[in-house]
Amino acid sequence: MSGQSEKDSTISPKRKNPNGKYVLSRQKIIIVNLHKDALSKNPDINYTDLYDNMSKATGIGYRTIKDTINEYRKTSTVKSPNKKRVKTSLFDKTDDLDRNGLHTSKDPTLPNFKRTTLYNIIKKLDFVFTKRKRCSVLTERNDLINWRRNYLYDIRKYRGEGKSIYYLDETWLNVGDCVDRVWVDTTIQSKQDAFNKGLTTGPKNLTGKGQRLIVLHIGSDMGFLEGGLLCFVSKKNSADYHDEMNGDTFKDWFVSILPRLHPNSIVVMDNAPYNSVQTEKYPTSNSKKADILEWLNSKGITFDRPLLKAQLLTKVQELKPRTKSYVIDNLAKYAGHTVLRLPPYHCEFNPIELAWAMVKGYVKQENTMYKIDDVRQLLNSAIERVTAENWKIFIKHVIDEEDKVWKVDDIMDEIIDEMEPCILTITGDTDYSSE
C-alpha cells in the first residue's frame, strides 16, 4: 500500500506549450478555473506568484496566463485565437527590383535562391523553357517580349517628338520607418546617467507594425506635379499596399490631375488593378451560363438551339475586341493625353521609383517621433526636396536602362534565330491587369 501511495503522489511530468502555438479556448477555461480555485483557497496570494505557479503546473507561458485572466476579467469570457494567417509565398516576398534582376542580368546582389525556388519564381515570371537540338535556352513569352519592345519603341518616339512625359506610381510609408543604424555613446551607463548629462537613450527598436501612409504621386522632368499628391492613412492590415487603392479612388485622383498636365502629354503607369478597370466587363469561364446568355442577348445575339457553356464562351471571344479598353485610358484620351503602360516586371523603366527611394531615405533619416502626423509632414518635406534636376538624373538613368534592355533583346533575338528549334513549351495566358 505504501508503494502504491507513493506512486500516486508522484506528479506526471508536464508538457510545455511550444512558443508560438495557439492556446485554445478550452485551455483558457482551465486557466480561469485554476485561478478561481487558487483564490478561493488563498485570497491573499500574490498574483505574480500565482501566475508563476500556474505556469509551472500547466506548461503554459506566464504572459499567456496573465493575458487570459485579464481577458476574462474584462469580458467575463474567453475566445479562441484567430488562426487565419496570410501565408505569402517566396515569390510574393521577392520585390520588383529582384524580379527585374532575374530578367536582365546575373545581378550579384540577388538573394541566394535554391534551384527549385529559382525555377518556380522564373516560371511565375512567365519565362518559357525552349529545348534545342544540342542546348537549351530560357526565354520569355512572345507577348511579353512584344509588349516590352513596343513600349520602348513608343517611349523613344514620344521623346523624339518632344512631348511631355509624366510618370505615376504608388508607394507607402510606415510610421516606424527609421534608419537601421545609429551612433551610440558607450559611456552612458543608464537612463539616469543620460538624463543627468542632458542626453537621451533614444527610441526602442520598432517592430514595423503600426499605421502607414499610402502615397500616390506623378512627376516629370519638371519635378513632382504641383497638387498631384494623394496621401491617406492605411486601413487594411495587408502585406501588399496595392490592396489599399481601388478603381474609384484612383479615378477621382486621375481626373483631378488631368487639367494640370501639359497639353498632349504622355502618362506612363503600370498595370495595377486600380488603374486597369475595363470599360466593359466580359463573361469568363467563371461566369454562370445564364449570365453569359444575358450578355450575348444584350449584344443582339440569339440562338435557335440550346448551346453548351463552352460554345457560348467561344461566341463571347468572337465579340471581344482584340485590345482591352480601360476607363483611365479613355479619360486621358478625352482630355487630349495618351496613357502608355509599362511592360510587366520592368519597374526600372519608371523614374519615380528612384524619386520614392530619395523620399523614403529622407523620412527614415528624420523620423524620430514615430507618429503618423509627423511622418506626413516629413513626407511633404521630402517631396519638396526632390528637385527637377533630381528628376532629370532619374530619367537619364532610366533611358540608360532602356537602351541596355533594347540591346539585350537584339542579341537574344539573333542567338535564338541561329539555333534550330526542337521542342517549345508554352505557358498559359496571363492577365497582367492584376499586377
The stretch 157-184 carries a mean pLDDT of 85
Calpha distance 351→399 (Å, rounded): 9
Beta strands at 136-140 and 165-174: parallel, antiparallel or unpaired: unpaired
CA-based nearest residue to 143, from 432, 404, 423? 432
What does the pLDDT average to over 64-69? 87
Q: How far apart are the first and last CA of the chain?
A: 75
Is residue 263 scored above 50 in pLDDT? yes
* Distance separating alpha carbons of residues 316 and 319, to the nearest angstrom: 5
Total residues found in the chain within this entry = 435
> Among 110-124, 168-182, 224-238, 392-406, which range has the highest average pLDDT?
392-406
- Written as one string, the DSSP assignment of 389-425 is HHHHHHHHHHHHHHHHHHHHHHHHHHHHHHSPEEEE-
Average pLDDT rounded to a whole number, residues 10-33: 72
Residue 177's pLDDT is 74
Residue 90 pLDDT exceeds 70: no
The most confident of 121-135, 182-196, 331-345, by mean pLDDT = 331-345
Closest C-alpha to 218, from 264, 177, 270: 270
Hey, CA dihedral for 310, 312, 318, 324, is it positive or negative?
A: negative
Between residues 209 and 273, which one has the greater pLDDT?
273
**Dist. CA 133–CA 280, nearest whole Å:** 46
Report the percentage of the chain scoring pLDDT > 70: 69
pLDDT at 86: 52
Mean pLDDT, the chain, as a whole number?
80
Which amino acid is residue 177, in one-letter code? D
| Distance set, CA 328 to CA 246, 277, 369 (Å) | 13, 7, 38
Rounded CA-CA distance 389/380 in Å is 18
Map out the domains of the chain with their CATH numbers: 13-75 (1.10.10), 162-282+320-413 (3.30.420.10)
pTM over 0.85: no
Strands (E), 223-297: 223-224, 230-233, 266-269
| Residue that has been written with the C-alpha cell 517592430 in this structure | 207
The answer on pLDDT for 355 being more than 70 is yes
CB 339 within 8 A of CB 332: yes
Mean pLDDT of all residues in 145-152: 95
pLDDT digit string, tens, across residues 195-204: 666 665 555 5
Binning pLDDT at 50, 70 and 90, where does residue 182 land? low
CB 341 within 8 A of CB 435: no
SS3 127: strand
Q: What is the mean pLDDT of residues 58-70?
A: 86
Residue 174: half-sphere exposure toward Cβ, Cα within 13 Å: 15
